[in-house]
Homo-oligomer: A and B are copies of this chain.
Amino acid sequence: MKFSIDKTDSQCRARTGSINNDHGKIETPVFMPVGTVGAVKTFSPEELEYFNSQIILGNTYHLFLRPGIEIIHKAGGLHAFTSWQKPILTDSGGFQVFSLAKLNKISDDGVEFQSHIDGSRHLLSPEISMKIQRNLGADIIMAFDECPPGESDLNTLQNAVDRTSNWMRRCVKWLQNNPSLYNYGQTIFPIIQGGVNKSLRKQSIDELLPYAECGIAIGGLAVGEEKRAMMDTIEYCTEFLPSSQPRYLMGVGKPTDIIKAVRRGVDMFDCVMPTRNGRNGHIFTSNGVINIRNQKYKEDFSELDSNSAHKWGKQFSKAYVRHLFNINEVLGIRIASTLNLAYYQNLMLSIRKEINNSTFSDWSQKNLKEMQNMKGM
């Protein structure tokens, strides 16, 4: 895998670039739709490509539980299993274990947990996470880290940083002894922890940078901390991260968060918002997020979003899509998810275009100002 920078903004840290790997080229800054359990909810692979999605994310925790890595390995890996032929990134499973599963025991060895589906007991460790991710066969695999909640005390944060560094060594060691199972390469991204504490972040960066071959992630944010503290932490981290590697801000976020983080030098994003909000009838439009279930749209025959990058924005009325949600029709969920993903990918397209045109700094400030009064942005 190789990262090259095309253009860097003169007034902020924003840059465009491209990540080249065995499944294709990824133009950055990039938004990665989340394909939790082997599908980006409601979308077929060709629909994702239509939206200019260049790489999708798979969740190790979910795929480990269902269908299990044995099946995915027999299928020839996650690309073959899902028929998505562009790049894939898998997370380490750590975040879901901490947030979804019932935890039984956390130690330096790893995490004992019970499945949120059937209560079955499992162990996840750096070695096991690597083994699962080797089987899944993602192009980018994530280190197994400890991600404490946003309100954690200093001691908890310190332990998480130390443990994450320790686990990083074990991940790399395991990978060195167990090469890729398929005929293409896999690159591991370390994950920086440390909450919003700068000295811990610095420690984490210093300890993990030696393991960063071609990319590094900022984890432990968007987990309940103040938004300003999150942005300050991003800005602090990117100051010390090598500009020669893409920086991935995990689990972020809202459109304005993405623009702000790009200004601070972030290159990669993932978030469930386009699909999760879509399922709940929350639609990202050019005027902000609307809740299409709202009674006020009952007889509103205006276009869903006349400025949408997707034709369905003009094709369907608010009243019709509200009706579809009202009768629990799958097409309603599809329309909302589609408009949301189109919104996100069109935003990334604009960001890349503006950076390449040397107009990003002004553009982003103007847009952030406009968006600050829009709901849900």
**Chain A contacts to B: CB under 8 angstroms:** 37-39, 41-45, 66-67, 71, 74-76, 81-83, 298-299, 301, 312, 315-317, 319-320, 323-324, 326-327, 329-331, 333-335
Contacts and interface: CB of A to CB of B under 8 A. Distances in A.
Nearest to A311: B46
Contacts of A320: 38, 75, 81-83
A329 B279 CA distance: 12
Contacts of A299: 71, 74
Contacts of A39: 324, 329, 331
A45 B316 CA distance: 10
A67 B331 CA distance: 16
A321 to B, nearest CB: 10
Given A38-B324, A44-B312, A67-B326, A75 B334 contact: no
Contact of A83 (B38, B67, B316, B326): B316
B83 A319 contact: no
A319 B75 contact: yes
Contacts of A76: 301
Contact of A317 (B43, B75, B327): B75
Given A37-B329, A75-B301, A42 B323 contact: no
A274 to B, nearest CB: 14
Nearest to A74: B299
7 contacts: A37-B327, A38-B324, A41-B331, A42-B330, A75-B319, A81-B319, A81-B320
Nearest to A333: B330
Contact of A323 (B38, B41, B43, B330): B38
A287 to B, nearest CB: 21
A96 to B, nearest CB: 14
A189 B364 CA distance: 60
A71 B301 CA distance: 9
Given A44-B334, A71-B319, A81-B317, 10 more contacts: A38-B320, A41-B331, A67-B298, A67-B319, A67-B326, A75-B320, A76-B301, A82-B320, A83-B316, A330-B330
Given A315-B83, A320-B82, A330-B333, A298 B41 contact: no
A82 B317 CA distance: 9
B327 A42 contact: no
A331 B44 contact: yes
